[in-house]
Amino acid sequence: MVVAGGGIGGLAVALALARRNFRVVVLEQAAEFGEIGAGIQLAPNAWHAIDALGVGELVKKEAVFIERLLMMDGVSGETVIDIPLDERLEHEYSPLRHTDRIRCPVTVAWAEKESAEFARQSREFAEKLRAPTHIGNGMNHFEIIETLADARSPLARTALEMIA
C-alpha cells in the first residue's frame, strides 16, 4: 500500500496498516521533516489512539507534560483561562478517589465497543463501589446512552428499578 504524505495522519495510517501486516510505503514530498510551530498538544483521547498504535511509551519519552493550561488575550495580554493540571486537580476530579461521597444506588454501564481504557476505568469504578455493571453488547459509547430513551431497554429498566 502507498500512503501519500508523512504527516501525523499519514504516519498513523501507515503504522496501523503495518501492524496488521500490510506492506506500506510512505511517500513524502518534502526533502526532510522539520518542526513547524512549537509542538502539538494531545488531549487524553488522542493518547488512547497513540496507545492503540503501540507507540504510547515512545511518544511519552519525548513529550512534555504541562502543569497548567493558560490562555491569554493576544491583544491585551489578559488571562482568559487558567487551569492548573496538577495532582490536586487530578485528585479533585477523579470519581474513583471520591467514592465515599456517593450515597445513591449505582449501576456502572459501558458499551462493548468502548476503548479498552474506558472499559478498564469503568470496571475499576464498579469494583471500588461494589456496584453492579451493565455492558451494552455490540454497542458504542453513544448507542448505549440512547437506549435510556426506550423504557423497555435493559439499561432503562435497570435505571427505573434503582429509582423505584
Q: Which residues sit at the interface with ligand FAD, rule CB under 6 A? A: 4-10, 27-30, 36-37, 40-41
- Asked whether the beta carbons of 17 and 11 are under 8 A apart, the reply is no
Nearer to ligand FAD, 42 or 96 (CB): 42
Residue 80 CB, shortest distance to ligand FAD, in Å, is 17
Are 159 and 132 in contact by the 8 Å Cβ rule? The answer is: no
The nearest distance, CB 38 to ligand FAD, in angstroms, is 7
Identity of the residue, 38 or 163, whose beta carbon is nearer to ligand FAD in the bound complex? 38
Nearer to ligand FAD, 42 or 89 (CB): 42
Per the listing, cell 487530578 goes with 90
**CA-closest candidate to residue 98, choices 55, 129, 138:** 129
Q: How far is the CB of 42 from ligand FAD (least distance, A)?
A: 7
Among candidate residues 146, 57, 78, the one with its CA nearest the CA of residue 109 = 146
